[in-house]
């Protein structure tokens, strides 16, 4: 058996022991999260473990997990480009839900197109085949980046022209279309949400265009100064991580008959760097910002939606966000402020 977890290792090194003492509850899904050590995976694992039980949710990645992650529940090495290994993990752990988070994001994708193509497209093909072969429920996130300069930008509906100009966006449109094709052709239970830029306090973004909206909080607390790599009036859809993870769980649990589509926009708020900074200054009045525009990220942002129309998600399966801009900013400062007080005390 392949599964080795820090949590289990602490108790017993025998895999036999795992099989006997940790039988999965049959009424809960057995979940595998790929690319689980990025900005979103650890938080999602925490949420799903609370709901389905610690041992029913396996995090996987090609990176080495931090101690707190390793000891918080099952973790396994998995490279999504290794089809045989992926299939072995699914079979040996009797996986029923696959959450496919592995990807190269927009900015790092432009910096390494061959790798982005391999991970985001070839990797997705492995995931689709394994999910179809083993009748898994498959979640693949898409993104505001799946739209391009010829899409309507304010607001962007679910169905419209999608001609993105990044390898990231192209690979995500490909994922949407392939997932839907497998659904209609082979009956694959494919579910997909187009996430906005996600903002989180306890995990770092992986090299996207919306990363500035996370970094700003860290710099406000650490130095009181921030250099923004997008222009002050660049408007993009954004969401606090708790809303993103809640939506993911909700769409995965939604009865199939409610889903009139298989790919939905979800949204919470939309702001520019200037508007975010004004809100941050309510908490840190002396906060100073300068602008040093990164032309690659700026060109990407200028081609993306400014506002996202998520009416179908709201109508079909009851999507509703909890965090608007003021709550987001207060929550980020509460979290990071308490962390920095703890660090100072130690
Ligand atoms: N964070 C956002 O703002 C956002 C917005 C829209 C969509 N999404 C999507 O959500 C998903 C998760 O995003 P994230 O922000 O956590 O990404 P991230 O970049 O932080 O993490 C991606 C993870 O994929 C892993 N990975 C890379 N190559 C791999 C391989 N060959 N095999 C297995 N794993 C591999 C990386 O090690 C990394 O831990 C992605 O598909 C992303 O496109 C994220
Ligand atoms: C928006 C999203 O897909 C990611 N945060 C990026 O900027 O690339």
Per-residue pLDDT at 233 exceeds 90: yes
Kindly report the three-state secondary structure assignment for every residue of 44-93.
HHHHHHHHHCHHHEEEEECCCCCHHHHCCCCEEECCCCCHHHHHHHHHHC
- The dihedral of CA 246, 118, 62, 198: what is its sign? negative
Catalytic residue positions?
A: 168
Pocket test for ligand 1, best of 59, 127, 203, 206 (most atoms within 8 A of CB): 206
Is residue 185 one of the residues assigned to a domain? yes
How many structural domains does the chain have?
Answer: 1
Is residue 131 one of the residues assigned to a domain? yes
Is residue 337 one of the residues assigned to a domain? no
Is residue 177 one of the residues assigned to a domain? yes
Average pLDDT on 48-77 reads 98
Per-residue pLDDT at 14 exceeds 60: no
pTM above 0.80, yes or no: yes
Is residue 183 one of the residues assigned to a domain? yes
- Which bound ligand lies closest to the C-alpha atom of 198? 1
Per-residue pLDDT at 7 exceeds 90: no
Average pLDDT on 52-73 reads 98
Is residue 218 one of the residues assigned to a domain? no
ipTM value, please give it.
0.99
Is residue 181 one of the residues assigned to a domain? yes
Rounded to whole angstroms, the Cα distance separating 64 from 147 reads 33
Predicted local distance difference test score (pLDDT) of residue 339: 73
Per-residue pLDDT at 11 exceeds 50: no
CATH classification of the domain holding 114: 3.40.50.720
Give the confidence band of 345 by pLDDT, cuts at 50, 70, 90.
low
CA of 206 to the centre of ligand 1 (A): 7
Residue 167 structural domain: 103-200+239-268+306-323
Average pLDDT, the chain: 93
208 lines ligand 2 (CB under 6 A): yes
Is residue 299 one of the residues assigned to a domain? no
120 lines ligand 2 (CB under 6 A): no
Per-residue pLDDT at 236 exceeds 50: yes
């Amino acid at each position: 058996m392949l599964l080795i977890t820090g949590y289990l290792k602490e108790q017993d090194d025998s895999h036999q022991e795992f099989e006997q003492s940790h039988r999965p509850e049959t009424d809960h899904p057995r979940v595998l999260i790929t690319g689980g050590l990025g900005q979103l995976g650890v938080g999602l694992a925490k949420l799903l473990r609370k709901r389905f039980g610690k041992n029913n949710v396996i995090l996987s990645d090609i990176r080495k997990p931090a101690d707190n992650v390793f000891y918080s529940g099952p973790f396994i090495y998995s490279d999504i480009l290794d089809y045989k290994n992926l299939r072995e993990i699914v079979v040996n752990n009797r996986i029923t839900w696959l959450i496919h988070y592995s990807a190269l994001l927009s900015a790092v994708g432009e910096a390494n197109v061959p790798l982005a193509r391999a991970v985001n497209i070839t990797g997705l093909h492995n995931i689709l085949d394994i999910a179809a072969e083993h009748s898994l429920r498959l979640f693949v996130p898409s993104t505001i980046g799946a739209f391009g300069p010829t899409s309507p930008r304010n607001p962007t509906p679910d169905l419209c022209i999608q001609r993105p100009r990044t390898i990231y966006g192209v690979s995500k449109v490909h994922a949407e279309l392939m997932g839907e094709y497998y659904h209609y052709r082979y009956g694959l239970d494919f579910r997909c949400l187009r996430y906005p830029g996600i903002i989180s306090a306890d995990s770092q973004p992986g090299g996207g265009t919306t990363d500035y909206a996370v970094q700003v909080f860290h710099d406000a607390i650490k130095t009181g100064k921030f250099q923004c790599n997008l222009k002050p009036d660049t408007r993009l859809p954004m969401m606090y991580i708790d809303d993103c993870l809640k939506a993911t769980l909700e769409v995965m649990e939604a009865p199939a008959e409610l889903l009139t589509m298989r790919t939905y926009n979800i949204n919470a708020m939309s702001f520019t760097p200037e508007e975010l900074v004004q809100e941050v200054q309510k908490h840190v009045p002396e906060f100073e910002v300068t602008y040093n525009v990164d032309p690659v990220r700026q060109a990407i942002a200028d081609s993306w939606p400014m506002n996202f129309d998520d009416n179908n998600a709201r109508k079909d399966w009851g999507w509703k966000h909890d965090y608007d801009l003021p709550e987001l900013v207060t929550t980020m400062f509460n979290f990071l402020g308490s962390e920095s007080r703890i660090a100072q005390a130690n």
